[in-house]
Structure 1
Amino acid sequence: MSIVIHVEQLTKSFIRNDREILVLHNVNLEIESGSFVVIAGPSGCGKTTLLNIVAGLLAPGSGMVYYKGTPISGPRLEMGYLTQKDTLMPWRTVERNVEMPLEIRGVPAAERRRRAAEFIRLVGLEGFEKLYPHELSGGMLRRAGLARMLVTMPETLLMDEPFAALDAQLRLELQNELLSLWSRQRSSVLFVTHDLEEAIILGDRVVILGTGGQVIADEPVLLPRPRNAAHIRFRPEFISLHRRLWDALMESRQQVQRQEVRL
């Protein structure tokens, strides 16, 4: 498969209390077209910073990030981004929120409504189109955000811990929903989580990051698809992979803790 995202010698630091904090240091990563790659690691290893740079929302300190061979210098229409926090517009209904990316692109009103209705149905929100964000549960907010990201049918999906704030049962439901939607579109996905079970359930490949965004482990997930999020965790292959990735995650956590002590 061709490479859709190429991260080359990426470095990024921030200034905190007049001190430079190195978040990413010479990070290298490649994402193949059509693959579902999950990045996992403890808080402080640079996962979200890396995703924001890939999304074009942050500029690298040094190094480069390429999308299909072209340097990323800002947000790209080919990429959809679902953040940790809900970003629905509170003055717009579900329907109008989902339509918004199409409206920005100048899609005619009738076509906007048709496509918004299609994706609202796909994420299980049919019948709730006229509700406002404050009238929705947490799971419904996530579904609406997912529909808004998918409505433009982006080539690549960037997702930053989108289900982290949900209870375990609802998380399983939305993991299955995402797997079903991805199997239809086969977009390239770069998904960030701190949950190893979620990483293995969803991914074709799991990358564990350590201090400075360095790759501690990079493992293929050879479990068969389609997958059921509630059942696949009991397979022996799942348990074996989870054990290996857990060891890598513990190594990463120790690295981050040592760095925090030095700071």
Structure 2
Amino acid sequence: MTAAAAARTDEDVVLGVQGLSKHFVKGDEALVALRDVDLQVQRGSFVVLLGRSGCGKSTLLNLLAGLTRPTAGRITYRGEPVEGPRTQVGYLTQHDTLMPWRDVVRNVEMPREIAGQPRAERRAKAEELIRTVGLGGFENHYPRELSGGMRRRASLARMLCADPETLLLDEPFGALDAQLRTELQAELLRLWSGSGRTVVFVTHDIEEALVLADRVVVLGLAGRIVLDQQVDLPRPRDPDEVRVEPRFVELHRALSAALKEGAR
């Protein structure tokens, strides 16, 4: 590789992980969640971290978000050390974090309220995003009045309201029924496509990984990378149609074998 090509490659790396390890202490015992993980995520890509429960997926996402500090190793964002949360990075957790005392529009506009944006401006942006995620008409409803899928949509709109350039999503659709999950996968792809945003998405579901990703990184025990697989399925992807493609079936088998290998 030429020096110019190497420079372009380095500039394209949004998230860099080198020699990352994370230990937790329980009593007198040190529990190893991640050990010597190396990973690079390129700008504008959709990367899925795939693995079984207990492989360190959520721990890795928390570290990428700057919510916890590594035991060893280094994490960078656009070449700068990650030492805490960054406004350029949005994080959608597994759990519902909407404020129950705020209606939908006040939940969604909250990042811009915290940033000090005038009320009229932040309200206009929040209402636009609420319509974008299919919640038009529910602006004044409270979280308790929404279904699980609607709360997920509201949470996604709130994250997007901060206008992050990188999205971290930790099994955001895991608790939803199959039909709603498919709808929200399609919605997420629509919002990401052409936006220039970078996405790191955690799941344990092979089909979800293949429907969404440009690249699937399969994690085994202690965050060991078992397989780093490019997903060469054409876009746009219809979740129902892509599942019957021969290449989808071939990739599914490869990822399934990697998950089994990672559990050993």
Structure 1 length-normalised TM: 0.95
Match of 1:84 among 88, 91, 94: 94
User: In 1, distance between residues paired with 2:156 and 2:128?
Assistant: 13
Match of 1:144 among 154, 161, 180: 154
Aligned to 1:61: 71
One-letter identity of the residue aligned with 1:42: R
Give deviations 1:133-153, integer Å, cap 9, x for gaps: 011000000000000011122
User: In 2, distance between residues paired with 1:96 and 1:234?
Assistant: 42
User: In 2, distance between residues paired with 1:24 and 1:226?
Assistant: 34
User: In 1, distance between residues paired with 2:236 and 2:157?
Assistant: 21
User: In 2, distance between residues paired with 1:89 and 1:181?
Assistant: 24
Aligned to 1:50: 60
User: In 1, distance between residues paired with 2:145 and 2:130?
Assistant: 16
User: In 2, distance between residues paired with 1:157 and 1:226?
Assistant: 20
User: In 2, distance between residues paired with 1:164 and 1:106?
Assistant: 34
Give deviations 1:47-94, integer Å, cap 9, x for gaps: 000000000000000101000000000000000000000100000000
Match of 1:169 among 179, 182, 190: 179
One-letter identity of the residue aligned with 1:81: Y
- Percent identity reads 58
One-letter identity of the residue aligned with 1:218: D
8 Å contact kept, 2:43–2:196: no
Q: Does 1:27 align with 2:18?
A: no
User: In 1, distance between residues paired with 2:200 and 2:243?
Assistant: 21
Within 5 A, what are the aligned runs for 1:73-222? Answer: 73-222=83-232
Aligned to 2:5: none
8 Å contact kept, 2:49–2:57: yes
SS in 2 for 1:26: strand
User: In 2, distance between residues paired with 1:45 and 1:69?
Assistant: 26
Structure 1 residue ranges (4+ consecutive) displaced by more than 2 angstroms after TM superposition: none
User: In 2, distance between residues paired with 1:76 and 1:158?
Assistant: 12
Residue 18 of structure 1 deviates from its aligned partner by 2.4
Residue 184 of structure 1 deviates from its aligned partner by 4.0
Aligned to 2:49: 39
User: Which sits farther off after the overlay, 5-14 or 16-25?
Assistant: 16-25
User: In 2, distance between residues paired with 1:39 and 1:107?
Assistant: 35
SS in 2 for 1:238: helix
Aligned to 1:260: none
Structure 2 length-normalised TM: 0.95
Match of 2:17 among 4, 7, 15: 7
8 Å contact kept, 2:23–2:32: yes
Structure 2 spans left out of the alignment, 5+ residues: 1-8
8 Å contact kept, 2:224–2:262: no
The two structures, once aligned, show a CA RMSD in angstroms of 0.8
The alignment of Structure 1 onto Structure 2 pairs a total of residues equal to 254
Aligned to 2:4: none
Aligned to 1:237: 247
Give deviations 1:116-148, integer Å, cap 9, x for gaps: 011000100000000000110000000000000
